Amino acid sequence: MCLRTEHVQQPGNRPTSCSCSSAIMQPTMGTPDPLPTPKFQALKEKLIQFMHSDIYPNEKLFLTQNHAIGTASNEWHHAPILMKLKRKAKALGLWNLFLPVDSAAVAGTSLGGGLTNRQYGEICEIMGTSVPMEFAAQATNCTSPDSGNMETLARYGNDEQKAKWLIPLLEGRIRSAFAMTEPGRDNNLGSSDATSMSIRVDRDEQNQEYVINGRKWWITGAGSLHCKIMILMVSRCPCCCRCGQ
């Protein structure tokens, strides 16, 4: 794995304090209450301090260690500095901030950050100032494809799936992959258009199993030695209209 940076954001462009407020956000009927504004402001201040004390100063080291890992072998695993920062972020409570409070409630877990999607948007603005872009997100267990996969499991997984996959992901013990992009059904052009999936899954009732046929490539997260589960996007009915697939 080789990480290449085209643009390095200057320290002057990075946040030094919280100037925005989530007080304008008013919960509507059917939506969860957001984290109270004072607590949310304190959380953002803590994150900004973490960015300045641990993320920004270690960006070059993170790139150097990843380059060394990629040069030494084709085995993709976490850089030592990332593992160190993950432990610190978890201890600081800067962990799983992506998991909306409603999804956490559905999953019956307290391992989320207790935020709404609106509040998490402000968190992303802060984390996105790191180079490479997802360095801070990885350190706080908020990176793709794990964040989307965890919320899918939280909302739609059964108890066995949650125990086997969701909890280890939320605890940062494993990673996941998301298989969406295909070579292309009609023109052999790579596509991640959800309405043009050609890979399909069929139920084999005789053997009580599902049969998957098709091809995926550029599978996000599949190369990691920490990857233990893959979520696959398939077409359930290639002959149906685009919105029914």
Residue 128 to residue 143: CA distance in whole angstroms: 11
State pLDDT tens for residues 43-72: 999 999 999 999 999 999 999 999 999 999
Q: Detail the DSSP E strand segments found in the chain.
A: 175-179, 200-204, 209-213, 227-232
CB 161 within 8 A of CB 224: no
Beta carbons within 10 angstroms of residue 50's beta carbon: 21
For residue 72, give Cα distances in angstroms to 67, 68, 97, 162: 9, 6, 33, 35
State pLDDT tens for residues 218-244: 898 898 899 999 999 887 766 666 666
> pLDDT at residue 2 above 60?
no
Q: Detail the DSSP E strand segments found in 74-188.
A: 175-179
Owner of token pair 């973490």: 50
Q: In this structure, what DSSP letter does residue 232 have?
A: E
State pLDDT tens for residues 77-119: 999 999 999 999 999 999 999 999 889 888 888 888 889 889 9
Q: How far is CA 33 from the centre of its chain?
A: 23
pTM: 0.81
CATH number of 31-173: 1.10.540.10
State pLDDT tens for residues 136-183: 999 999 999 999 999 999 999 999 999 999 999 999 999 999 998 888
Q: Which residues pair with 209 in a beta bridge?
A: 204
pLDDT at 7: 34
Residue 175 to residue 227: CA distance in whole angstroms: 4
Q: Nearest CA to 129 among 238, 25, 22, 10?
A: 10
CB 51 within 8 A of CB 43: no
Residue 50 to residue 54: CA distance in whole angstroms: 6
Domain ranges of the chain: 31-173, 175-245
